[in-house]
């Protein structure tokens, strides 16, 4: 729900991923060469020139493909190789024999879609386990699309899915690219694959809006008897935009967040309770004047900081609810 500008810090994580992939997957190029040769050998009717050129291009670009930034993704080059035959990537191809060929017996082949075999050679499953722990270091611990489900990894076990921003079936050359793999829960991953979504986690343009969306709780009643009756998903300025409407339609966010109205209620209630006497009590506890940052962190159980919403679930809703209180002049009001 919030984009990340690619800076030297992010590039540091990308380079760590690159080094680990090179150390743990030393045979990627050899495997791609074998795939190229076998597909050409065992599929006499296939366009051999496309197979040769496409896989050779991946070999030529590897391992830089692992950390190629979005601004440098060269779709034109790969699409030109495919020409009018882009369906070749989803074509079932023979890539090996199941057993040694015996005289008088028909050959049995192993087969799969071409892009699947490219992904296998690129070692996607290994990339996923490596990247999972790097995501934890980066603070990417919640689904970037809905922010309601955890994205956790430990001991090389990844307990979430990784969405390919650019689908592997169309762009297998980006199948293990650091910047193309986005932490997602299973439901959001499936919904995105079936519906349009332009949300891109990593961006190069520092002028681009990082947080284009906002949750807008609808509150009824007067303190202390306020009640959240609806949570709208809108654009940054509080109005429904073409982008927020598309995003909401794809991920069903307003329906999903109807189950989290109690989170809003709790923040409103806790904020109401945080009166002058409570502030004095905190001051006595901490032994110094309590800052607004300390009070809001205590109220939210997390920093009141939009940039940290990926660190845990429901952070976006909590921060946006606080902003609503802040904008109304009600936040930490005596």
pLDDT of 223 reads: 86
pLDDT of 265 reads: 97
pLDDT of 97 reads: 87
Task: Write the pLDDT tens digit of every residue in 191-228.
Answer: 998 676 878 999 999 899 999 999 999 999 998 899 99
Rounded to an integer, the average pLDDT of 241-251 is 94
Sign of CA dihedral 34, 38, 40, 46: negative
Taking the C-alpha atoms of residue 146 and residue 121, their distance in angstroms, rounded to an integer, is 31
pLDDT of 285 reads: 75
Residues in the chain, how many? Answer: 334
pLDDT of 105 reads: 77
Taking the C-alpha atoms of residue 105 and residue 89, their distance in angstroms, rounded to an integer, is 30
Rounded to an integer, the average pLDDT of 180-192 is 95
101 confidence band (pLDDT: 50, 70, 90): low
pLDDT of 16 reads: 98
Neighbours of 75 (CB within 10 A): 12
Rounded to an integer, the average pLDDT of 42-48 is 94
* 3-state SS, residue 261: helix
User: Of the candidates 239, 160, 212, 226, which has an alpha carbon nearest to the alpha carbon of residue 316?
Assistant: 212
Q: Say yes or no to pLDDT of 134 above 80.
A: yes
Kindly report the pTM of this predicted structure.
0.93
Question: What is the average pLDDT score of the chain?
Answer: 93
pLDDT of 107 reads: 83
């Amino acid at each position: 729900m919030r984009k990340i500008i690619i800076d030297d810090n992010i590039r540091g994580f990308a380079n760590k991923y690159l080094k680990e992939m090179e150390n743990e997957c030393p045979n990627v190029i050899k495997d791609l060469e074998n795939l190229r040769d076998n597909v050409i050998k065992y599929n006499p009717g296939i366009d051999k020139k496309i197979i040769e050129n496409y896989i050779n291009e991946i070999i030529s670009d590897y391992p830089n493909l692992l950390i190629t930034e979005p601004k440098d993704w060269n779709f034109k080059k790969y699409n030109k190789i495919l020409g009018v035959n882009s369906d070749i990537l989803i074509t079932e191809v023979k890539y090996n024999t199941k057993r040694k060929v015996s005289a008088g017996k028909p050959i049995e082949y192993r087969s799969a879609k071409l892009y699947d075999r490219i992904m296998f050679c690129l070692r996607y499953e290994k990339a996923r386990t490596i990247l999972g722990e790097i995501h934890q270091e980066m603070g990417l611990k919640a689904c970037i699309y809905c922010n309601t489900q955890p994205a956790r990894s430990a001991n090389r076990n990844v307990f979430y899915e990784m969405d390919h921003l650019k689908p592997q079936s169309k762009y297998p050359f980006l199948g293990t690219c650091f910047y193309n793999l986005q932490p997602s829960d299973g439901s959001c991953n499936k919904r995105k694959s079936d519906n349009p979504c332009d949300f891109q986690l990593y961006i190069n343009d520092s002028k681009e809006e990082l947080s284009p969306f906002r949750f807008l709780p609808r509150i009824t009643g007067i303190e202390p008897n306020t009640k959240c009756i609806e949570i709208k998903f809108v654009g940054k300025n509080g109005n429904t935009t073409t982008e927020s409407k598309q995003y909401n339609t794809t991920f069903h966010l307003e329906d999903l967040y109807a189950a989290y109205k109690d989170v809003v209620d709790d923040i409103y209630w806790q904020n109401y309770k945080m009166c002058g006497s409570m502030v004095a009590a905190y001051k006595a506890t901490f032994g110094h004047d309590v800052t607004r940052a300390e009070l809001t962190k205590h109220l939210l159980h997390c920093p009141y900081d939009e940039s940290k919403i990926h660190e845990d679930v429901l952070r976006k809703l909590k921060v946006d609810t606080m902003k609503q209180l802040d904008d109304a002049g009600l936040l930490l009001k005596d």
